[in-house]
Structure 1
Amino acid sequence: MKYILSFFTIIGLAICAWLLYLYSHIRFELDKVINYNPRLTTQIFDKDGKLISNLFSKENRLYVNYDEIPARVIEGLVAIEDTHFFEHNGINLDAISRAIIKDIKAGALVEGASTLTQQLIKTLILTREKKIIRKIKEVLLALKLETVLSKEEILERYLNQVYFGHGYYGIKTAARGYFNKELYELNLKEIAILVGLPRAPSFYDPTRNLKFSLARANQVIQRMNTLGWINAKEYEEAMKSTPKIYDKTLTQNKAPYIVDYVLKTLKDEVKDIKTGGYEINLTLDLDAQRIAKEGLNKAHEKILKRDEYFRNLNKKRGIEKEYDEKGNELSEDRFVKNLNGSFISMENNTGKILAMVGGLNYKDSNFNRVVQSKRQAGSAIKPFIYQAALNMGYSPATKIADISRTYEYKVEDSDETKKWKPKNYGGRYKGLISLREALLYSRNLATINLVTDIGIDIVYNTLKDYGFKNMPYDLTITLGSFVISPFELSQAYSIISNNGTEVKPYIINSIKNRNGTIINFEPEKRYVISPEQAFLTKDIMHDTVIRGTGKRSKVKGLDLAGKTGTTNNNIDAWFCGFSPSIQTIVWFGNDNNVPMRRSETGGIAAIPAFKYFYKNYLKLHPEIKREFEKPDGVRTSIINGKKEYYTNTSKLPTNSIDIPKENQIQF
């Protein structure tokens, strides 16, 4: 007897020593559970808190703290998975005993009897393979974990870690994904569906197997009823209930051009953007984004319809082939495939981007033409040239020559001399016209003569002050021969729309990390010219919409100012304009720089998208500011029977008659 006792003592000590040895090798793995730091999904929201997109890598998980988890969720989970969770120390000896008996009868490991603590360890640290050694490790770690973490902390980790099917990790993610609800909004049947999922998440996925998912949920409800945790009425209502199930994409990307731009903007500052669980709040307005996209597509459809009309017309005339100004055949396939557009709209006084559409179809091309494309500005540059003249003392009434001139120049690195004879659109010229009329009707010759009078050096340096780069130091600058992105052009136009103060377009309002720390972004502003001088150009651009090249952009009940832009051979078509509070830049052209039809000018191709946006935005936001305001330093006079504005810098001729301030009216 003594030897038998000694034998069992030695065996017992050996087992204890082995268990201690085994534990010493795995105990540090508990750090993954204790210092829980899961992959978290970053979410991007618009200015009104509407979800734009989920950003994640491998696991789509939204974190929820224990005190935000409804008691019914805890009850349902404990009822179906581990009834004695709040009573045991990490393992359930009764359940283990029952499982051992079943395993012996089956001759294999068929039942695990894992507590929620053990399941958490298995999910985070160990594998799911059914081996005795794995089970022993699980038990040892569970016993230790319960001495380190509270029951609430274990449940919080469990409900955030486990997989709920359909790509959803964590119960908060599953609630939003399957039911489009927050946890506190769930009814009993919805809770039962969720807590029943971890047993077999793919099999019980309600988007795939609703019948089996409801059957599993009913087991949860029956168990809660048996335990007396719900009353008869709750039980009956829950058993009869069939919730509405949503089958959403995981990313829910509603504005792919925007998401790409945000990722690019933050790539150096936020390295873990897809796993860090950030909340990124944008300046974007999803409603504005929608109507901007619609407007761009409708304008595109009109361009294609005009192309079809002219092709059919030419066929009737017996013209089988068409050629552009360069002599290239204008094939239908080439024109349709390469035609594209872009759209950016922002607040005048802050630079907050409300809408940005980088192309007609993201699936066809993810190239963002707002920020990545560099195109010639054409006549869209003219307001800045006229602003330079006004700042030098010219007034809107100053006469300039709209006459033809021929310029000779030498070819670079050659003795060859060439001639440049610019023309107005339409080929005609008007002689002496006012500065206002020249910009109003986008007269090329008048503009070139104005620059000649001012001096190319002054115009060049003024445009540099306004932020323009990589410009040629010659008269072609007058016709916008240099390239610029719509994003950069939008920044420059803010000088006029924002009363002389430039604002940089930006799209991120704030970023909140998983710890709740918030970084806010503020507008970047730069004073450039006085509000009075900017107003003079703004007023001419307003007149352009009323009776000039931009008259197709008029929207009833809303003051608008704008400028068309069309480059040589109709390669680019622009419309740049603004209301008292919102500025918009629209561009159309072929990605491969093939000319469009001569019909596709800025006033024809680009304006429809601009007008559609403002007309529909006004319906959504009737409260926006409707009328432009005249700064105090701007005075009104009558010259040659017409009203005109002037300032202390831009004075009118001596034959003008001032209008008393009390008789002056706004636009």
Structure 2
Amino acid sequence: MPMRFLFVTLAKLALAGLVTLSFYLIYLDSSLTQRFASERYEASAMVYARPLTLQPTAPLRMSQVVAELQQLRYRESAELADSGSYSRQGNQLEIHRRPFDFANGAAMAERVRISFANGRVRHILSLPDGRSLNRFQLDPLLLGQITGSNGEDRLLVGLERVPNLLIETLLLIEDRDFYHHAGVSLSSIGRAALANLAAMETVQGGSTLTQQLVKNLYLTRAQTLWRKANEALMALVIDFRFSKNEILETYFNEIYFGQDGGRAIHGIGLASRYYFGKPVEELQPAEMAMLVAIVKGPSYYNPHRYPERVQQRRDMILQLMFTQDLISQPTYLAALDAKLVAEKGPRTGQTWAPHYLAQVKQELAQLQVPENWAQQGLRVFTYFDPLAQQAAESSVANQLPRLSESKELQAAVVVADPSQASLLAVVGDRQPQNLGFNRASGAMRQVGSLVKPVIYGLALEQKNSYHLGTIVEDRPIELEQANGTIWRPENYDGEFRGSLMLYDALAQSRNIPAVRLGMSVGVPAIVAKLRAAGVDTPIPEVPSLALGSVELSPLQVSEIYGIWAQQGRFRHYRTIQALTNHQGITFYQRRLTSGAEVFDEVTTALVNYGLRGVVNEGTGRALVPLFGNDALAGKSGTTNDYRDSWFVAYDEDKLVTVWLGRDDNQPVNLTGSSGALKVVAEMYSQLGVRPLSTQPPAPLELTAFHPETGVAIPLDCAEKRRFPAYPQNLPEQVNCAGELDERSWWEKLLD
């Protein structure tokens, strides 16, 4: 009787357990299937620089291209058998570009030969057919990542991109029966135990890949029977509901490969980039073996901290790969001699342009990005130019110690492409890695003479009253201010030049003529133009505005000068060009507009002529020996007591704004020409210059003016100044003094 009671009781308990298990499996099936299908992991936003574009005649040196290839972790190899390699000989460079999903579509691997001459690209030939190419792009540099809310970092890759050898190696070590079991394998547990016993160390795991995946995704690492049982049940459900390839792809994207500072490296795609600086498709057998070795324990098998330990396990995996005929003997022997991890690139351990990346994040928050972007991943294609960033950083680092012994001297640099209304590079601190205050966008400083071109533009808009040859007065002036005090502006040299041409006043940055013109056009008109130029911060409506008493950031200054570089039209500068998911599907593409007209094209051309004069013969003339006449236009800026040193310069391709000063607003004893110009000069020396176009637009034509009176005179006069101007329609009787010639007909006949 007791035995029968015990049997019945056990049967009831078993039935209850079976019913409970059935309900629990139904619950798992409904909840787990949904979660696995749509919420497997969060992917990072991968932020890419612009792809380096090579075109014949473009100002680009071979050394610059090689530097970028090294940043991209291309290998120098004479054979160029694999993508991601390059070779150089003389003035020629051969590149085997990696395949890449650009913002405008996928591009296959391609080989080219590029020749250089005189600091420019000369020819681009496709190999092996030798076709001439008008354009060639490298795959872009990975600028950084923006992680999701859980702090995990990953680059999603499809299973089709993972090399077969890597898949076979992982299954060999972790789960040989992956394609044959139902999520849990008793035979795998037994075989792993025997293999580990034979090797006297853990060489194989007993858990299936599906179980490992479940543990990583949904469970804690507590070593309890309940956790193991739950793991097995969940593995059975996932294996039943999803294909083996879906599970394997998820595993490759979820697997944890260690820490890089505060971010967790997840997935084979990012691990390949992090440890070897290459896409997963380019992994070599030794690299695959090392990554599989890390799977066992990313902290224990950290190649940066425990290289000997990791190499021992890697070599053991290579031996198994050889004995199982996954690799040949020559490949095996070569892999044993391979370095454990790739040599660190020039910037390994540093964040590329943290202030630029912060600008990207700020702009990204303003775009209508899908809320679930982390499920599909996000690729952010920016305008960032590594060459420009390196030039800006190195120029600041080289010039600031020469300009001042004080460590308090700070700097900000903005490099922009006005034609694309885009930011190419940003430096917000003399120590570019300091992710603190970004002076490029946040430092509001008085701009001094940088405001003068707006005043001259307002004057030149009045074509019946002003032209570049108009005589303006550089004589003392007194102005009553709102508080009743008298303002007596002075020139920076304390002198007065008397009468001079408007062009000379702008080129030499004379203060008094600018104040007189400012009072002529009116302070409200200056304020209105600055508002039209994008200034949304306070502007003091006082006479001293004519000398730059307004406070602007270097980024705002860059946008204002973009007006002169772009035919008088204003557009805000942006960092983001396009957004796609990790599969390459585009859901945002920036569309450039023509912008809002601030000055008409003719007025802009006249101001540009004056700003070329600043460089040719004015406060920026130190640039002429380096780059020649008419190559650049620009403007210097110096504020009271030499507290701020500014210089802005632009050619046909880029605009550079440099500010130097102290955060406590103390004097730095530098003018725009003696300080910021030095940084600008070194930057253009590194980047090269594409000279400005000097052809004035219609109806402007080259006109002669009397140097003392500023009136139009015939072009063949000996004493003259020539400037572009509206047609003057001079009568034939006008002489070289600008007066009507009243000689008799017989006197003219004797000439």
- Per the shorter chain, which TM-score range? 0.7 to 0.9
3-state SS, counterpart of residue 429 of structure 1: coil
Tell me how far 1:481 sits from its aligned partner.
1.2
Equivalence for 2:562: 494
Tell me how far 1:427 sits from its aligned partner.
1.6
Tell me how far 1:208 sits from its aligned partner.
2.0
CA contact (8 A) 2:611 2:633 kept: yes
Alignment of 1:507-526 (within 5 A): 507-514=575-582, 516-524=585-593, 525-526=595-596
In 2 relative to 1, CA 126–461 (structure 1 residues): closer, same or farther, beyond 3 Å? closer
Equivalence for 2:443: 373
Q: 1:198 aligns with which of 285, 295, 298?
A: 295
Equivalence for 1:556: 627
CA contact (8 A) 2:481 2:543 kept: no
Q: Distance in 2 between matches of 1:100 and 1:512?
A: 46
Q: 2:642 aligns with which of 570, 577, 582?
A: 570
Equivalence for 1:419: 486
Tell me how far 1:291 sits from its aligned partner.
0.7
Equivalence for 1:157: 250
Alignment of 1:319-468 (within 5 A): 336-362=406-432, 366-393=436-463, 394-409=466-481, 411=483, 417-468=484-535
CA contact (8 A) 1:42 1:276 kept: no
Equivalence for 2:124: none
The Cα offsets for residues 84-125 of structure 1, whole Å up to 9 and x where unpaired, read as 1111122213245678999xxxxxxxx983111112112212
Q: Distance in 2 between matches of 1:17 and 1:594?
A: 80
CA contact (8 A) 2:644 2:661 kept: yes
In 2 relative to 1, CA 360–652 (structure 1 residues): closer, same or farther, beyond 3 Å? farther
Equivalence for 2:145: 54
In 2 relative to 1, CA 489–649 (structure 1 residues): closer, same or farther, beyond 3 Å? farther
Equivalence for 2:185: 92
Tell me how far 1:53 sits from its aligned partner.
1.4
* Matched AA of 1:75: E
In 2 relative to 1, CA 78–121 (structure 1 residues): closer, same or farther, beyond 3 Å? same
* Matched AA of 1:145: I
Matched, 1:616 2:686: yes
CA contact (8 A) 1:54 1:251 kept: no
Q: 1:645 aligns with which of 705, 723, 739?
A: 723
In 2 relative to 1, CA 650–520 (structure 1 residues): closer, same or farther, beyond 3 Å? farther
3-state SS, counterpart of residue 179 of structure 2: coil
* Matched AA of 1:379: S
CA contact (8 A) 1:545 1:561 kept: yes
TM-score, length-normalised on structure 2?
0.75
Q: Which has the higher strand share?
A: 2
Equivalence for 1:171: 268
Q: 1:629 aligns with which of 679, 685, 695?
A: 695
Deviation larger for 602-611 or 633-642:
633-642
Tell me how far 1:453 sits from its aligned partner.
3.7
In 2 relative to 1, CA 234–570 (structure 1 residues): closer, same or farther, beyond 3 Å? closer
In 2 relative to 1, CA 274–337 (structure 1 residues): closer, same or farther, beyond 3 Å? farther
Q: 2:604 aligns with which of 534, 557, 576?
A: 534
Tell me how far 1:343 sits from its aligned partner.
1.3
Q: Distance in 2 between matches of 1:365 and 1:118?
A: 41
Equivalence for 1:503: 571
Unaligned runs of 5+ in 2: 52-139, 196-203, 707-718, 739-751
Q: Distance in 2 between matches of 1:458 and 1:387?
A: 11
Equivalence for 1:327: none
CA contact (8 A) 1:391 1:649 kept: no
CA contact (8 A) 1:635 1:646 kept: yes
In 2 relative to 1, CA 649–442 (structure 1 residues): closer, same or farther, beyond 3 Å? farther
3-state SS, counterpart of residue 648 of structure 2: strand
Unaligned runs of 5+ in 1: 103-110, 306-335, 412-416, 659-667
CA contact (8 A) 1:350 1:503 kept: no
Deviation larger for 125-134 or 487-496:
125-134
* Matched AA of 1:474: V
Tell me how far 1:65 sits from its aligned partner.
0.9
Deviation larger for 155-164 or 273-282:
273-282
Q: Distance in 1 between matches of 2:685 and 2:452?
A: 26
* Matched AA of 1:53: G
CA contact (8 A) 1:571 1:594 kept: yes
Equivalence for 2:314: 217
Deviation larger for 254-263 or 575-584:
575-584
Tell me how far 1:391 sits from its aligned partner.
0.7
Equivalence for 1:333: none
Q: Distance in 2 between matches of 1:199 and 1:652?
A: 89
* Matched AA of 1:261: Q
In 2 relative to 1, CA 55–274 (structure 1 residues): closer, same or farther, beyond 3 Å? farther
CA contact (8 A) 2:377 2:582 kept: yes
Q: Distance in 1 between matches of 2:373 and 2:551?
A: 33
CA contact (8 A) 2:174 2:205 kept: no
Matched, 1:544 2:614: yes
Equivalence for 1:263: 361
Tell me how far 1:463 sits from its aligned partner.
4.4
Q: Distance in 2 between matches of 1:656 and 1:581?
A: 40
The alignment covers a number of residue pairs equal to 610
Deviation larger for 207-216 or 479-488:
207-216
The Cα offsets for residues 422-462 of structure 1, whole Å up to 9 and x where unpaired, read as 11122211222111111121111222223334444544444
- What is the RMSD of the two structures over their aligned residues, measured on CA atoms? 3.2
Tell me how far 1:276 sits from its aligned partner.
6.9
Tell me how far 1:529 sits from its aligned partner.
2.5
In 2 relative to 1, CA 45–252 (structure 1 residues): closer, same or farther, beyond 3 Å? farther
Q: Distance in 2 between matches of 1:349 and 1:290?
A: 22
Matched, 1:63 2:156: yes
Q: Distance in 2 between matches of 1:33 and 1:272?
A: 15
CA contact (8 A) 1:639 1:656 kept: no
Instruction: Between the two structures, name the one with larger relative contact order (CA 8 Å, sep ≥ 6).
Output: 1
Q: Distance in 2 between matches of 1:651 and 1:428?
A: 37
* Matched AA of 2:491: N
CA contact (8 A) 2:383 2:423 kept: yes
Tell me how far 1:337 sits from its aligned partner.
4.8
Tell me how far 1:227 sits from its aligned partner.
3.7
3-state SS, counterpart of residue 649 of structure 2: strand
3-state SS, counterpart of residue 197 of structure 1: helix
Tell me how far 1:78 sits from its aligned partner.
0.9
3-state SS, counterpart of residue 419 of structure 2: coil
3-state SS, counterpart of residue 555 of structure 2: helix
CA contact (8 A) 2:411 2:659 kept: yes
In 2 relative to 1, CA 229–649 (structure 1 residues): closer, same or farther, beyond 3 Å? same
Q: 1:283 aligns with which of 383, 403, 406?
A: 383
CA contact (8 A) 2:33 2:241 kept: no
Matched, 1:113 2:206: yes
* Matched AA of 2:274: G
Deviation larger for 634-643 or 242-251:
242-251
In 2 relative to 1, CA 219–477 (structure 1 residues): closer, same or farther, beyond 3 Å? same
In 2 relative to 1, CA 230–639 (structure 1 residues): closer, same or farther, beyond 3 Å? closer
Tell me how far 1:286 sits from its aligned partner.
0.8
In 2 relative to 1, CA 467–644 (structure 1 residues): closer, same or farther, beyond 3 Å? farther
Equivalence for 2:38: 35
**Percent of pairs with identical residues:** 29
In 2 relative to 1, CA 655–41 (structure 1 residues): closer, same or farther, beyond 3 Å? farther
Q: 2:15 aligns with which of 13, 16, 29?
A: 13
Equivalence for 2:712: none
Deviation larger for 572-581 or 65-74:
572-581
3-state SS, counterpart of residue 536 of structure 1: helix
